[in-house]
Structure 1
Amino acid sequence: KTHAWDATIATVRKFQAAVASCLQETLSPNKFAQIKKYITPHNIWEKNKYEGYATQYLDMLNIKFIQMDLPKREKNLSIFAKRLGEIDQLYL
């Protein structure tokens, strides 16, 4: 519970906007639309959704992503965004 004018929140929002802009420039409109539904604030900030989140899962996804070549990364980016946005069986 912080104030909307909190400098940290503004910094994070600016970073989020930069990432979204980069994704939009890089991906097809269809792929970008898929990713947007997983990274919208409504999905990300559900009450307690990430409380106790196992960050090792993020590390695991990062390692898999880094090991892919560029075309495979672009092809799988929306899948990785979905995995981060939904706590699924792979996470569990």
Structure 2
Amino acid sequence: MAAIVGIISGFLLSVLFNEFAPALFGNETLLYTAYANVKGGFEIPFHISRGLSFVITMLLMIVISFAGPKVNPKAFELDSDMFKF
């Protein structure tokens, strides 16, 4: 489940930071500084926007992984007796 959420949230966060973050949150925040581009708008540098997307996505995936079930009911139970010759 965390992998699917990670794929979707990673894509959505990268679009958010690349296209809409300066307009929504402002040009100067604690996490980034948006610079003027040639088109007359503002944009966040590529590595900063992708880094923020990565960190938020990883935190989200970790929280979902810890919140889920501890043992998958479809998993095999391994015993040390299985590996004796």
TM-score under structure 1 length normalisation = 0.25
TM-score under structure 2 length normalisation = 0.26
Q: Which has the larger radius of gyration?
A: 2
